[in-house]
Amino acid sequence: MTFIETHPFNDAYPIPEGTRTLVVGTAPPPRFGNPNCAGEGANLLDFHFFYGSGKNRFWKFMNTIAKSFNTPLPGDKAAAAEYQAAACKFLVGHGIWMKDVLQTYERTPECSSFDKDIIAPKTQHLADFYRVLEEHRQIERVAFTAEVAARWTFQSLNQLELQERYKQTLMNRKSASDSVEQFDASSECANFPATFMTPIVTAVIGGRRIEFFQLPSPSLSSFPPKGVTDDCLTKIYKHVLFTC
């Protein structure tokens, strides 16, 4: 029997008032929530918060964006608590927060950090996103950092039609991307960002319009097409998360 993890951050860091953009992923690596995996894949830059793995590029992108606003985050030598506090302040200042879709979950192998090794959850094991959107009426944009996070979020919302629209749009976008032989990252990333900078689906939920975006994965285990740099990915994150 595998260990049942409870998400270590969803309840510990509730969504602040004034949040307009919600970033939704799956769950952090098991070393953050499973005592049987403590230290497995640990990194000197780890800190206990969403996307807190030192191997994840999310906060690398945020560091670059923060500098562009003349509000740089602490450097790599900062203590984990200092960086976490600064990261939270930066997000709140821009109306952004996180809420992963998995609330309780199992993995096999137990200490794998890959989404494909998360056992498909039942709806009752997911965060209640209908309630989230009802309680936080200022949220107008949801940005997924993994395709499976989107599928499970629509499952939580009981929006099968929305899930089908998402899947079809995703397939269409991938077909369009596959038709481009090579991206030119030196020219403002050329073709690549266009597939991410517009909503993948838009829906009326709880009486208001919500835009759903699909971000490129920040995980190092997911590689973008040849020629697409971290600067290109940062541009996408800045546009989707900070442009309202």
Tally of domains within the chain: 1
pLDDT, tens digit (0-9, with 9 covering 90-100), for 49-108: 999 999 899 999 999 999 999 999 999 889 999 999 999 999 999 999 999 999 999 999
Beta strand segments in 29-184, E: 96-98, 104-105, 141-144
**Residue 102 corresponds to which tokens in the numbers above?**
């998995």
pLDDT, tens digit (0-9, with 9 covering 90-100), for 170-224: 888 777 655 444 444 445 566 666 778 889 999 999 889 999 999 999 987 766 6
CATH of the domain at 23: 3.40.470.10
3-state secondary structure of 220: coil
* Cβ atoms of 11 and 50 closer than 8 Å: no
Q: DSSP letter string over 194-205? A: GGTSS-SEEEEE
Q: What is the per-residue pLDDT for 228? A: 78
> What's the domain range around 13?
5-242
Of the chain, the end-to-end C-alpha distance in Å amounts to 45
What is the rounded average pLDDT of the residues 101-128?
96
* Cβ atoms of 113 and 37 closer than 8 Å: no
* Cβ atoms of 147 and 155 closer than 8 Å: no
**Residue 56 corresponds to which tokens in the numbers above?**
């994840």
Q: What is the per-residue pLDDT for 183? A: 43
pLDDT, tens digit (0-9, with 9 covering 90-100), for 132-161: 999 999 999 999 999 999 999 999 999 888
3-state secondary structure of 240: helix
Q: What is the per-residue pLDDT for 15? A: 98
What is the DSSP secondary structure assignment for residue 6, as one 8-state letter?
E
